[in-house]
């Protein structure tokens, strides 16, 4: 059966198995994955560039795109092989179209277009943020619609009211830095390197969160917006005013900073659920890997009778399974890329 007509039959309610190859290169991970019908991961390969960017304390865009070029073919081949299929069995391709680093996005995007063109199969361009939101559907017991979602990553801190796989209302967003960006910058200030979130999370386990108290930026408590630049400045001021002794306090600084961020994130997502009368909330994106955040949200949610859905660690960070999962829904809705379509670097208004 032709690939196009398999997708058409699926959208008409036929029970067919549709295999989608997802490709993700928006930042510093080269990822490919084969997903069946948006929920069953047959393979998920992620090649991290952490070692390359570590000495610079952050992602160097030029190095990132060059590494994607070197890695993409191997990663896609590995994903196809691990799925136990032949390329000819792939029904469609889903690729991250944005937001992200333009040079990085272009590598995956151009590769995916050529791959789909070569096999004469449909291709769709996926919004990376929608990928993160849909990552909870790759886990057992996903939330029913509607639910609220906190997307916390290196580039975004947003709260959504999610009504379907591809429909959302944005309830709040950061007015300055993203939460993950704050983790990365504080780690850099403390001389701990990149990637900051994981390093600060680990170090915090050895520190006392009540020893050094940093401010909580709730803004107006009724809004679901965030601001993390103030806390970053507070940490910097602490370092500058304790130049001789701050190094001994590093675990306490990390724990104090983390607690401040976690307090605000927890407060806002629980209140967003209550405001919308939702009994399901999801936490997604790289910062959702933070064990203190996972624990605190689960604890607070339990008290308020809200079910919390947080993906396993592999699905919190950037991956291509979440891109394939969203791509499936786009394709069923008939959203396809044209060969002359381009990437977008900033979050498009898709609400």
Phi-psi region of 241 (alpha: psi -120 to 50; beta: other; left: phi over 0): alpha
- How near is the Cβ of 171 to ligand KG4 at its closest, in Å? 19
- How near is the Cβ of 291 to ligand KG4 at its closest, in Å? 7
- How near is the Cβ of 153 to ligand KG4 at its closest, in Å? 3
Phi-psi region of 196 (alpha: psi -120 to 50; beta: other; left: phi over 0): alpha
- How near is the Cβ of 207 to ligand KG4 at its closest, in Å? 14
Here's the x/- map for ligand KG4, 302-321, by CB under 6 A: it reads as ---------------xx---
Pick between residue 172 and residue 286 the one whose CB is nearest to ligand KG4.
Answer: 286
Judged by CB under 5 A, does residue 24 bind Zn ion?
Answer: no
Could you tell me how many residues make up the chain?
A: 351
Judged by CB under 5 A, does residue 318 bind Zn ion?
Answer: yes
CB atoms within 10 A of CB 54: 12
- Give the residue, chosen from 57, 122, 197, 209, that forms a contact with ligand KG4 under the rule CB under 6 A: 197
Question: What is d(CA 283, CA 306) in angstroms, rounded to the nearest whole number?
Answer: 13
Judged by CB under 6 A, does residue 103 bind ligand KG4?
Answer: no
- The DSSP code sequence of 174-221 is BSS--HHHHHHHHHHHTT--SSHHHHHHHHHTTS-TTTSPPP---SST
- How near is the Cβ of 139 to ligand KG4 at its closest, in Å? 16
Judged by CB under 5 A, does residue 153 bind Zn ion?
Answer: yes
- Give the residue, chosen from 22, 155, 207, 256, that forms a contact with ligand KG4 under the rule CB under 6 A: 155
- How near is the Cβ of 203 to ligand KG4 at its closest, in Å? 11
Question: What is d(CA 318, CA 178) in angstroms, rounded to the nearest whole number?
Answer: 16
Q: Are 174 and 226 in contact (CB under 8 A)?
A: yes
Here's the x/- map for ligand KG4, 14-53, by CB under 6 A: it reads as -------------x--------------------------
Token pair for residue 220? 């107006």
Residue 207 binds which entry of ligand KG4, Zn ion, none, CB below 5-8 Å type-dependent:
none
Q: Are 225 and 159 in contact (CB under 8 A)?
A: no
Of the candidate spans 40-48, 70-78, 152-160, 300-308, the one that interacts with Zn ion by CB under 5 A turns out to be: 152-160
Of the candidate spans 50-58, 146-154, 159-167, 243-251, the one that interacts with Zn ion by CB under 5 A turns out to be: 146-154
Q: Which residue has the tokens 């639910």?
A: 147
Pick between residue 130 and residue 184 the one whose CB is nearest to ligand KG4.
Answer: 184
Residue 327 binds which entry of ligand KG4, Zn ion, none, CB below 5-8 Å type-dependent:
none
Token pair for residue 186? 């504080």
Question: What is d(CA 286, CA 290) in angstroms, rounded to the nearest whole number?
Answer: 8
- Report strand pairing: 29-36 vs 19-24: antiparallel
Here's the x/- map for ligand KG4, 262-301, by CB under 6 A: it reads as -----------------------xxx-xx-----------
What are 147's strand-pairing partners?
162
Of 163, 187, 162, 349, nearest to 269 by C-alpha is 162
Interface size with Zn ion, residues (CB under 5 A)? 2
- Give the residue, chosen from 22, 98, 201, 327, that forms a contact with ligand KG4 under the rule CB under 6 A: 201
* Percent of the chain as helix, strand, coil, to the nearest 5: 50, 20, 35
Token pair for residue 268? 């806002």
Token pair for residue 8? 């058409």
Pick between residue 60 and residue 119 the one whose CB is nearest to ligand KG4.
Answer: 60
Furthest CA-CA distance within the chain: 71
- How near is the Cβ of 287 to ligand KG4 at its closest, in Å? 4
Residues binding ligand KG4 (CB under 6 A): 27, 153-155, 180-181, 183-184, 195-198, 201, 285-287, 289-290, 317-318
Residues that bind Zn ion (CB under 5 A): 153, 318
């Amino acid at each position: 059966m032709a690939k196009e007509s398999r997708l058409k039959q699926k959208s008409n309610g036929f029970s067919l198995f549709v295999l989608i190859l997802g490709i993700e290169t928006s930042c510093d991970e080269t990822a490919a994955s084969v997903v069946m019908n948006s929920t069953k991961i047959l393979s998920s390969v992620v090649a991290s560039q952490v070692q390359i960017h570590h000495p610079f304390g952050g992602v160097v865009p030029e190095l990132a795109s060059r590494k994607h070029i070197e890695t993409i073919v191997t990663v896609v081949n590995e994903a196809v092989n691990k799925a136990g299929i032949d390329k000819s069995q792939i029904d469609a391709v889903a690729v991250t179209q944005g937001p992200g680093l333009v040079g990085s996005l272009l590598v995956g995007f151009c590769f995916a277009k050529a791959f789909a063109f070569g096999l004469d199969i449909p291709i769709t361009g996926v919004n990376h943020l929608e990928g993160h939101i849909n990552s909870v559907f790759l886990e057992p017991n996903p939330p029913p619609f509607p639910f609220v979602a906190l997307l916390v990553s290196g580039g975004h801190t947003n709260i959504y009211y999610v009504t379907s796989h591809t429909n959302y209302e944005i309830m709040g967003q950061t007015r300055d830095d993203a939460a993950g960006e704050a983790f990365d910058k504080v780690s850099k200030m403390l001389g701990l390197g990149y990637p900051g979130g994981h390093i600060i999370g680990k170090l915090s386990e050895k520190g006392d969160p009540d020893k050094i108290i940093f401010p909580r930026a709730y803004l107006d408590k009724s809004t679901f917006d965030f601001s993390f630049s103030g806390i970053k400045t507070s940490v910097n001021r602490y370092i500058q005013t304790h130049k001789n002794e701050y190094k001994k306090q590093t675990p306490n600084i990390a724990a104090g900073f983390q607690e401040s961020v976690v307090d605000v994130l927890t407060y806002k997502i629980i209140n967003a659920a209550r405001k919308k009368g939702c009994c399901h909330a999801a936490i997604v994106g790289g910062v959702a890997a933070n064990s203190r955040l996972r624990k605190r949200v689960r604890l607070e949610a339990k008290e308020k009778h809200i079910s919390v859905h947080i993906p396993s660690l592999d699905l919190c960070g950037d991956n291509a399974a979440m891109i394939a999962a969203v791509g499936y829904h786009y394709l069923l809705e008939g959203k396809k890329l044209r060969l002359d379509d381009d990437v977008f670097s900033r979050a498009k208004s898709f609400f």
